[in-house]
Amino acid sequence: MEKKKFVTEQHEKTRTTFRVLGPIFLVVGAICMLIAFIDFFSAFNEFEGPKYFWLFFVGMPLLFVGIVLTQAGFAGAIAQYGSREIAPVAKDTFNYLASETASGVKEISKAIHEGTNSTHSITCVKCNAKNSSDSKFCKQCGDKLVQVCHHCEKENSSDARYCNYCGKSLG
């Protein structure tokens, strides 16, 4: 199955249209604004009002549309430029942080590892020997590591006096 192109021909045509029309609208709008600006200030020397003042109202929308179309046409190129400028800095920052925080990450990893190991073992209350979590009897002294509740039949630690699940006495 053929993979679809992300940037289609229609997209490329639209982008080319924006790249052509945007600067044209921009230049025409700027020229209209310039003519209106010059006419407005040259009218101060005469007794008549400005003749081309209306070009402000034509030039402003043309200028706006030109800016929008130009930005739309060149947005991808600008974004690529920006990402290429930022990528080396981001890489250097990441590498610096990775090298400077390595010892802290190792400590956290060690603490997590120790924490998970302690949850996978049961300590005998009689001799303090560590046993695997699925053990029923101590490998050192042979004492019971778990008590089964007679009411709910759930396992509890050997030193518990009340069931962790139903709250009734284990004695």
Q: Per residue in 87-108, pLDDT tens?
A: 999 999 999 998 888 888 888 8
pLDDT confidence of residue 110: 86
pLDDT confidence of residue 130: 87
Q: How many CB atoms lie within 10 A of CB 148?
A: 13
pLDDT confidence of residue 170: 86
Percent of the chain whose pLDDT exceeds 70: 95
Does residue 133 register a pLDDT over 90?
no
* Ramachandran bin of 128, using left for φ above 0, alpha for ψ from -120 to 50, beta for the remaining angles: left
14, amino acid identity: T
pLDDT confidence of residue 102: 86
Q: What is the mean pLDDT of the chain?
A: 89
pLDDT confidence of residue 163: 92
In this structure, the dihedral spanned by the alpha carbons of residues 98, 103, 104 and 110, taken in order and rounded to 10 degrees, is 120
pLDDT confidence of residue 54: 94
Lowest mean pLDDT among 64-68, 73-77, 129-133: 129-133
Distances in Å between the alpha carbon of 3 and those of 6, 8, 14, 61, 162? 9, 12, 22, 41, 64
